Amino acid sequence: MSSTSFEPRGDKQAVEEGLRFSPKFDTDGLIPAVALDATTKEPLMLAYMNAESLRLTLEKGEAVYWSRSRREIWHKGATSGHVQRVREIRTDCDQDAIVLYVEQIGAGACHTGRSGCFYRRIDGPDGSMSLTEDGRRFDPGAVYGKS
Amino acid sequence: MSSTSFEPRGDKQAVEEGLRFSPKFDTDGLIPAVALDATTKEPLMLAYMNAESLRLTLEKGEAVYWSRSRREIWHKGATSGHVQRVREIRTDCDQDAIVLYVEQIGAGACHTGRSGCFYRRIDGPDGSMSLTEDGRRFDPGAVYGKS
């Protein structure tokens, strides 16, 4: 679709030093996107975008992902109200990853009821984990209508 | 290899609320890993780990990735000296992504000579970009022996 096309990718120099966005999508047509809280800089979530959702994100100024499980465009917060207002969007040297600095509307980004998805630290090679201080901020059942 | 195995994944409740690390690798055997500066919280890079590199990261306390282009274990900084000392490692709700808080040794994480890879912001739907304040910190040619 022409509405979701981006610049064709040039050579290494153009990709790394140029100022035209030419994202590289993987073989599934996806690019990983990391949402960081624009204020606290805490990592909120890592999700994926296809060309259409990336274009919609740029147009709406709100994060729009591609749901790999539901195989559909996923306008984050469309049902819960917990939208992510995009304050800044960046790409990396080879333009195959996205960072979003967002204002998370509502109590949190994670479907488990927490502000972000990265609420557990791995303590060592034995695979034990512990919770960070990021406890539940909202009741997922009340927000999403399921427990 | 038994040395790189992790916990088998349990049900949704165990994956999301449990305190045993059971990472989900994609069909290529990889999991995305986002390195954040432990001090500034700036995003440094997004790369991938396979089970062996993830295990090595946990054992060494330094970031070890899987190079998709070279198809080999990539101990970041092994040649440049710019290793990433892992201060904390987290996983997300469905355990299919990793966040590393690292102390970046040397001037920067990015092979272009910058502190991190996300040095360009996308200004709008037209795909124009601008540089962030993150200019070159080192000469890639001097560090990596090529321009």
Tens of pLDDT, residues B17-57: 999 999 999 999 999 999 999 999 999 999 999 999 999 99
pLDDT in tens, A88-121: 999 999 999 999 999 999 989 999 999 999 999 9
For residue B46, give both structure tokens: 């997004």
Residues 6+ away with beta carbon under 8 Å from A38: A87, A88, A101, A102, A103
For chain B, the average pLDDT equals 93
Q: Look at residue B3 and tell me whether its pLDDT is greater than 60.
A: no
B15 near A CB under 8 A: no
B120 near A CB under 8 A: yes
Report, as an integer, the average pLDDT of B58-71.
97
Number of domains in chain B: 1
Q: Does residue B3 sit within a domain? A: no
The pLDDT score that the predictor gives to residue B11 is: 96
pLDDT in tens, B99-118: 999 999 998 999 999 999 99
Q: Does residue B57 sit within a domain? A: yes
Which of the pair, A147 or B49, is modelled with greater confidence?
Answer: B49
Q: Look at residue B145 and tell me whether its pLDDT is greater than 80.
A: no
Q: Distance (Å) from the C-alpha of residue B118 to the closest C-alpha of chain A?
A: 4
Helix (H), strand (E) counts: chain B = 3, 8
pLDDT in tens, A43-57: 999 999 999 999 999
Do B90 and B102 meet the contact criterion of CB atoms below 8 Å apart?
Answer: no
Interface mutation vs chain B, best among A21, A59, A123, most B CBs within 10 Å: A21
Domain CATH code at residue A14: 3.10.20.810
Check A122 against B7: CB less than 8 A apart: no
- Share of residues in chain B with pLDDT > 90 (%): 81
Q: Does residue B22 sit within a domain? A: no
User: Could you list the residue range(s) of the whole structural domain that residue B63 is in?
Assistant: 27-136
Q: Look at residue B147 and tell me whether its pLDDT is greater than 60.
A: no
Between chain A and chain B, the number of residue pairs with CB atoms below 8 A apart is: 121
* Nearest CB to A59 within list B117, B125, B129: B125
Q: Does residue A69 sit within a domain? A: yes
Do A139 and A79 meet the contact criterion of CB atoms below 8 Å apart?
Answer: no
Do B118 and B108 meet the contact criterion of CB atoms below 8 Å apart?
Answer: no
Which of the pair, A5 or B37, is modelled with greater confidence?
Answer: B37
* Binding-face residues of A in 27-56 toward B, CB within 8 A: 32, 34, 36, 41-43, 45-46, 55
Q: Does residue B41 sit within a domain? A: yes
Residue A94 marked ligand-binding: yes
The pLDDT score that the predictor gives to residue B143 is: 79
- Distances A34 to A43, A46, B45, B77 between C-alpha atoms, Å: 7, 4, 11, 23
The pLDDT score that the predictor gives to residue B130 is: 96
Q: Distance (Å) from the C-alpha of residue B99 to the closest C-alpha of chain A?
A: 7
Q: Look at residue A147 and tell me whether its pLDDT is greater than 50.
A: no
Q: Does residue B12 sit within a domain? A: no
Q: Does residue B89 sit within a domain? A: yes
For chain A, the average pLDDT equals 93
Q: Look at residue A1 and tell me whether its pLDDT is greater than 70.
A: no
Report, as an integer, the average pLDDT of B51-76.
97
Q: Does residue A92 sit within a domain? A: yes
* Nearest CB to A20 within list B91, B112, B128: B128
